[in-house]
């Protein structure tokens, strides 16, 4: 699909049809997602692909009871192995680049899902240690996002957005007192 | 351009032609980039668009002397106003969602640049306070990435990547002792 169309179609899908995502479709999403950029090509990002109903339910619990994510036939958890970021860049690697890099991979997954005719969402609200316990992640591996993927069962809501004039500054920051 | 093609073409461009990016091309990039997702639709992301040679030079200095970025005709600095993230989500908003959200917007800009036939890069190594001083950012506004955009003057380098087998786990984390 055209990139511009994907960007316009993407939204956070919070309800999924009871319909499977074939492995070959999932593989196409993953083939694109592994082309993520990363700080200094440290590649801290890894993916846990989950189809188990029990694991999805436990993840939904760890995500502050966001049970809609367990509806999706596939859930991908993006994690960053902060050891790779920290070894090269110290604290900025651990607390900044590893998060940026995980978010890059997460957005690629979401866009690739839309490209495949599916819906996806990014769940960032969860208890890190509970997610670690569910998936067996070492302490240094930080969960970044829980991404349900499936055939979306809802229409996009049109959420109001801050105007371009608010968001885009030229040459220098301007305080937007008029928007405050 | 097809999304898959963009993902495959994207690379970190570190040298730019002495050739301008027309305003209408830049506007098309910005029109796509402002469609970023954000945690709870808090929209902390804002962009500073820079064409001034002097400001680009100062940003390159703040970015640990990465002077190649000043070669690009346009530089977009993505920032997150952490006040919006913190007001809703406290410390996790300030130190996690605001970074994730800024990275989402940054990747959209980079992909939109490739879609427009341009090159881009993500510079995350900089002194936050120096960037704040150059752009007049309030303390609560965190710079996430400095993104040079222009006609790329170099070919992509083929960097080796971790294998899919290394990166992708099924159902549960598996320690990759064999790759360590």
Confidence of residue A176 (pLDDT cuts 50, 70, 90): confident
Give me the pLDDT at residue A157, please. 85
Whether B179 has a pLDDT exceeding 70, the answer reads: no
Please check whether residue A33 is in contact with residue B145, taking contact to mean a CB–CB distance below 8 angstroms: no
Whether A21 has a pLDDT exceeding 80, the answer reads: yes
Alpha-carbon span A127 to B92, nearest angstrom: 11
Please check whether residue A130 is in contact with residue A60, taking contact to mean a CB–CB distance below 8 angstroms: no
CA A56 from chain centre, in angstroms, equals 15
The fraction of chain A above a pLDDT of 90, given in percent, is 95
Tally helices (H) and strands (E) across chain A: 7, 5
Alpha-carbon span A128 to A139, nearest angstrom: 9
b/e sequence A33-70, b meaning 16+ C-beta within 10 Å: bbbbbbbeebbbbbbbbbbeeebbebbbbbbeebebbb
CA torsion sign for B46, A122, B98, B161 is negative
Answer yes or no: do B136 and A172 touch at CB < 8 A: yes
Condensed to tens digits (0 to 9), the pLDDT of residues A100-133 reads 999 999 999 999 999 999 999 999 999 999 999 9
Give the mean model confidence (pLDDT) for residues A66-71.
97
Give the mean model confidence (pLDDT) for residues A56-65.
98
Name the closest residue on chain A to residue B48, using Cα atoms: A169
Whether B30 has a pLDDT exceeding 80, the answer reads: yes
Alpha-carbon span A115 to B5, nearest angstrom: 12
Distance from CA of B131 to the nearest CA of A (A): 11
3 state SS of B130: helix
Whether B180 has a pLDDT exceeding 90, the answer reads: no
Name the closest residue on chain A to residue B12, using Cα atoms: A37
Beta-carbon count within 10 A of A154 CB: 14
Strand partners, B46: B79
Confidence of residue B176 (pLDDT cuts 50, 70, 90): confident
Size of interface A-B (CB pairs under 8 A): 182
Distance from CA of A36 to the nearest CA of B (A): 8
Give me the pLDDT at residue A108, please. 98
Alpha-carbon span A36 to B156, nearest angstrom: 15
Alpha-carbon span A152 to A130, nearest angstrom: 27
**In A, which residues are within 8 Å of B168 by CB distance?**
30, 34, 46-47, 49
Chain A segment 107-146 residues within 8 A of B by beta carbon are: 107-108, 110-112, 115, 122, 124-125, 135-138, 141, 144-145
Name the closest residue on chain A to residue B160, using Cα atoms: A41
Which CATH class name applies to A18-152? alpha beta
> Average pLDDT over chain A, rounded to whole?
96
Distance from CA of B149 to the nearest CA of A (A): 15
Give me the pLDDT at residue B157, please. 85
Give me the pLDDT at residue A179, please. 55
Whether B178 has a pLDDT exceeding 60, the answer reads: no
Answer yes or no: do A144 and B100 touch at CB < 8 A: yes
Residue A37, chain B, CB below 8 Å: the answer is yes
Whether B177 has a pLDDT exceeding 80, the answer reads: no
Give me the pLDDT at residue A178, please. 52
Chain B segment 48-107 residues within 8 A of A by beta carbon are: 48-52, 55, 79, 89, 92, 95-97, 99-104, 106-107
Contacts of B72 (CB under 8 A, 6+ apart): B16, B56, B148, B149, B150
Among partner residues B55, B124, B141, which is closest to A100 by beta-carbon distance?
B124
CA torsion sign for B155, B105, B94, A15 is negative
Going by C-alpha positions, the residue among B25, B8, B30 that lies closest to residue B161 is B8
The fraction of chain B above a pLDDT of 90, given in percent, is 95
Residue B34, chain A, CB below 8 Å: the answer is yes
Domain residue ranges in chain A: 18-152
Answer yes or no: do B145 and A10 touch at CB < 8 A: no
How far, CA to CA in Å, does B120 sit from each of A50, A109, B76? 34, 20, 10
Give the mean model confidence (pLDDT) for residues A9-23.
97
Phi-psi label, residue A170: left if phi above 0, alpha if psi -120 to 50, beta otherwise: beta
Condensed to tens digits (0 to 9), the pLDDT of residues A120-169 reads 999 999 999 999 999 999 999 999 999 999 999 999 988 899 999 999 99
Indicate the helix (H) or strand (E) that contains B175: none
Name the closest residue on chain B to residue A1, using Cα atoms: B2
Confidence of residue A50 (pLDDT cuts 50, 70, 90): very high
Q: Look up the CATH number of domain B13-153.
A: 3.40.109.10
Give the mean model confidence (pLDDT) for residues B76-81.
98
Whether A180 has a pLDDT exceeding 80, the answer reads: no
Give the mean model confidence (pLDDT) for residues B145-156.
97
């Amino acid at each position: 699909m055209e990139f511009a169309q994907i960007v316009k179609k993407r939204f956070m899908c919070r309800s999924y049809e009871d319909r499977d995502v074939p492995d070959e479709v999932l593989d196409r999403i993953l083939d694109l997602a592994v082309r993520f950029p990363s700080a200094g090509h440290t590649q801290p990002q890894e993916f846990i692909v989950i189809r188990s109903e029990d694991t999805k339910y436990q993840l939904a619990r760890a995500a502050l009871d966001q049970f809609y994510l367990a509806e999706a036939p596939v859930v991908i958890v993006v994690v960053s192995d902060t050891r790779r970021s920290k070894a090269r860049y110290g604290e900025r690697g651990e607390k900044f680049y590893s998060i940026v890099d995980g978010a890059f991979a997460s957005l690629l997954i979401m866009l690739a899902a839309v490209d495949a005719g599916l819906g996806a969402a990014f769940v960032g609200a969860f208890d890190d240690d509970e997610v670690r316990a569910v998936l067996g992640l070492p302490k240094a591996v930080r969960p970044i996002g829980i991404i349900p993927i499936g055939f979306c069962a809802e229409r996009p809501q049109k959420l109001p957005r801050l105007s371009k004039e608010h968001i885009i500054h030229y040459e220098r920051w301007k305080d937007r007192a008029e928007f405050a």
